[in-house]
Structure formats: structure tokens, C-alpha cells
Amino acid sequence: MSQEKKRFCTECGAELNGGSKFCTKCGAKVGGKVVESEREESYTVSQTSSSNQINIPESYKPISMWGYFGYELLFSIPCVGFILLLVFAFGGTQNVNLKNFARSYFCIYILFLIILGILMLFGILGASAYYYNL
């Protein structure tokens, strides 16, 4: 089964129909090359003399460096941050980048808890061995 690739207008970001040469929303001429993503979707790239512009759907918009920093601070808040981390990791946002960042931060929490558990186990075993050898 072949999945039809989606194209978007370089001017307004509206989804284009089939092989149309003009956008049905803003009337702009459709041109440029097509960039394919991992999910079999494509985006229209406008070649200009100064820069390349890619219209990306809202769910794939990148997060800025300050955005990552802010979310990391938010997730670091003891109880509220952990709850928000779970919400973002398991469906509280449509942005794929934010969801993946929250999931990776959740994995760090799990690794931290495993290491903490191992250290506590060694501490209890060491304390009990010291106590019984007196």
C-alpha cells in the first residue's frame, strides 16, 4: 500500500491537493523541491536567494534552546515537575519533539532511581555487616 505524500504551501502552510500548481488558500504559486521526512510526509521547500524556508506542521515544530532549558527547569521541580513530566511524556502535548524530550527525561529519572536503590542496598548490607561484626 502506497501512502500519498503530503505537501504544504510555502507561503501560508496550508496542505496542498495532489498536483496543484497554486495554493487553494492563498493563491501562491507552488514551487521548490520536496523534502521527505521519516514518517512518509513531505514538505515544500522554498528556494530564495537569502535562505531556505521549510513549512513544518505544528506537531513537528522544533523546540528552541531556551525552550529545552525551560522544560528542564520545569521537570526539575520536585513533585509538580514530575507530574508534568508524566503528562508531557504520555500524551499531554501534540509536539513530537517535546514528547520525546519528556520521555528521555523520564528515562533519566528511572536510571537515577535504579542507581539510588542499588546504593541503598549496599549501604544496608554494609551497615548490617558492621553491626553484626562488633
Q: What is the pLDDT of residues 95-133, one digit of tens each?
A: 999 999 999 999 999 999 999 999 999 999 998 888 887
Residue 36 in contact with residue 5, Cβ under 8 Å? Answer: yes
Whether residue 44 has pLDDT greater than 80: no
Confidence label for 36 from pLDDT (cuts 50, 70 and 90): very low
- H or E, element range at 52: strand 52-54
Tell me how far CA of residue 66 lies from CA of 54, 69, 117, in angstroms: 21, 5, 33
Whether residue 5 has pLDDT greater than 90: no
The residue behind cell 554494609 is 126
Residues 60-70 have pLDDT tens digits of 889 999 999 99
Task: Output the nine-digit C-alpha cell for 100.
Answer: 520525546
**What pLDDT shows up at residue 90?**
92
Q: What is the pTM of this model?
A: 0.55
Whether residue 45 has pLDDT greater than 60: no
**What pLDDT shows up at residue 4?**
57
**What pLDDT shows up at residue 6?**
72
Which residue has better confidence, 6 or 131? Answer: 131
